[in-house]
């Protein structure tokens, strides 16, 4: 089976850095995605990791450790518009396209 854990809520200050953690237990592993979802809207793609290490994309970075079943999303220079849910999603080896989502971490950015 697939199990993905991430904190349900976090609060951070505008301009600061926040790290959102995700741990997973899956039957096989074929990549981990991070999506952003504003309330009532569709998920939008942020990052993809399939090898260990850090992927950087502007203010957003994502890290993966396959041996630990662990990833984090790092958001720098937080802006108010970053207030959203951040979804960790894993593609296991049970199928080629099926992606299993975590519950999402609701991030609130405060002034």
Partner 1 sequence: EPEVTQTPSHQVTQMGQEVILRCVPISNHLYFYWYRQILGQKVEFLVSFYNNEISEKSEIFDDQFSVERPDGSNFTLKIRSTKLEDSAMYFCASSETGHSSNQPQHFGDGTRLSIL
Does residue 108 belong to the site contacting partner 1 (CB under 8 A)? Answer: no
Does residue 45 belong to the site contacting partner 1 (CB under 8 A)? Answer: yes
Does residue 56 belong to the site contacting partner 1 (CB under 8 A)? Answer: no
In 3D space, the residue among 41, 35, 30, 39 whose CA is nearest the CA of residue 2 turns out to be 30
Nearer to partner 1, 16 or 45 (CB): 45
Which region among 15-23, 41-49, 60-68, 69-77 touches partner 1 (by CB under 8 A)? 41-49
CB of 69 vs partner 1, minimal distance in Å: 18
Does residue 101 belong to the site contacting partner 1 (CB under 8 A)? Answer: yes
In 3D space, the residue among 106, 85, 89 whose CA is nearest the CA of residue 5 turns out to be 89
H or E stretch covering 5:
strand 3-5
Q: How many residues does the chain have?
A: 111
Does residue 103 belong to the site contacting partner 1 (CB under 8 A)? Answer: yes
Binding residues for partner 1 (CB under 8 A): 30-31, 33, 37, 41-45, 48, 50, 87, 89, 95-104
């Amino acid at each position: 089976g697939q199990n993905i854990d991430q904190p349900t809520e976090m609060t951070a200050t505008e301009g600061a850095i926040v790290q959102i953690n995700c741990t997973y237990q899956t039957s096989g592993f074929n990549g981990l995605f991070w999506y952003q979802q504003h309330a009532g809207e569709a998920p939008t793609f942020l990052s993809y990791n399939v090898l260990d290490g850090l992927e950087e994309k502007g203010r957003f970075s994502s890290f993966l450790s396959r041996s630990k079943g662990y990833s984090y999303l790092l958001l720098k220079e937080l802006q108010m518009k970053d207030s959203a849910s951040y979804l960790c999603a894993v593609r296991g080896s049970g199928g080629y396209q099926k992606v299993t989502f975590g519950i999402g971490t609701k991030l609130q950015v405060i002034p």
